[in-house]
Amino acid sequence: MKPEFNAPAWSDELDCAVTLCDTEGVVLYQNERSIAVNGDVRGKSMLPCHNERSRAIIARLIAEGGRNVYTIEKRGVRKLIYQTVWRREGAIGGLVEFSLELPDEMPHYVRS
């Protein structure tokens, strides 16, 4: 059985992958892009898909809050991975991950 999560409708068709889990690592929501990239893992634990180092980061984020941000390259595509806690009424409800493809050339602006 897949758990229900009322994600905002706009997140379904974003041009980036959005995956959301609870505090136990069970995936509650994936948008269409996440399902296309990762397969449909709603209702399953994401922890077996991660190595020991990654599981420690996930546990720390869920316990303390905060974020984990990094870039990867997979099959020639560079991506920004942004993981942060989500909250319900102030309490940590789990993690959300945004995975965004990065173009080869990307401007960087410094604003004051």
Number of domains in the chain: 1
Those residues whose C-beta lies under 8 Å from the C-beta of residue 52, and which sit 6 or more positions away, are none
The pTM score is 0.88
Residue 1 has pLDDT above 50, yes or no: no
Determine the pLDDT at residue 74. 87
Any domain includes 5: no
The CATH number that applies at residue 33 is 3.30.450.20
Domain that includes residue 20, residue range: 15-102
Q: Is the pLDDT of residue 72 over 90?
A: yes
Taking only the tens place, the pLDDT of each residue in 73-110 is: 988 999 999 999 999 899 999 999 999 999 989 998 99
The answer to the question of residue 1 being in a domain is no
Residue 4 domain flag: no
